[in-house]
Amino acid sequence: MSVLSLPVEIGGVVRTVQVRRDGPHFSVLFDGHEHRVDAVLIEPGRWSLLIGRAPASREVRVRNDRRGGWTVLIQGAAAPIRVGDARRRHGSASPSSLHVGPVHITAPMPGKVVRLLVGQGDAVDARQGVVVVEAMKMENELRAPRAGHVLHVSVREGHSVEAGTTLLVIG
């Protein structure tokens, strides 16, 4: 069962969202919380989502903003987002419109830093592995969303981290 890992910018903060198909459902890992999601397309741009074990129904509308981003409307609340391209291969550039300025690589869930694959000052390529975090007995290799240099490393191997903790910064 493969996991799709996407860099998603929400409110100016880039986060990693992981999605895997679990039979007829999806398992979505966001900010350290795993959610079971059933999604049904009602019409183009309009979805019905059942979220959670005791499902809560949500209607979601998705609109392309024509500038490379999207607006997601969930029960009347609007959230502008930008999503990186998961199909890009190692060594290719990520969309520059998604990553302007320093990029904070954050822990997608609570866990332990198992390996640092880069150090401060190192050059990195787009999609290069930079740190490995163990969570829920699985190792997750986090990758650079774009080429650059490691500006700051905030953790050491063996450190426990909370979801959303900045692990390193790429400029």
Determine, yes or no, domain membership for 46. Answer: yes
74 and 122 part of one domain? no
Determine, yes or no, domain membership for 68. Answer: yes
Please count the structural domains in the chain.
Answer: 2
Residue-wise pLDDT tens digits, 3-52: 777 788 776 677 888 888 877 788 888 777 888 888 888 888 888 888 88
Out of 83, 115, 150, a domain closes at: 83
- Domain with residue 46: its CATH number is 3.30.700.30
Determine, yes or no, domain membership for 96. Answer: no
| pLDDT value for 44 | 82
Q: Which is nearest to 94 in space by CA: 4, 7, 5?
A: 7
| pLDDT value for 94 | 40
Residue 138 CA to residue 22 CA, distance in Å, equals 17
28, containing H or E segment: strand 25-30
- Domain with residue 109: its CATH number is 2.40.50.100
Higher pLDDT residue, 92 or 125?
A: 125
Indicate the pTM of the whole model: 0.47
Tell me the β-bridge partners of 27. 20, 36
* DSSP secondary structure string for all residues of 88-156: PPTTSPPPTTT--S-EEEE-SSSEEEEEE---TT-EE-TT-EEEEEEETTEEEEEE-SS-EEEEEE---
Determine, yes or no, domain membership for 69. Answer: yes
Contact call for residues 123 and 114 (beta carbons, < 8 A): no
Q: What is the dihedral of CA 97, 170, 8, 84, to 10 degrees?
A: 50
Query: 156 pLDDT exceeds 90?
Result: yes
In this prediction, residue 64 has a pLDDT band, given cuts at 50, 70 and 90, of confident
Residue 30, domain extent: 3-83
Helix and strand tally (H, E) in the chain? 0, 16
Structure tokens at 4: 């799709």
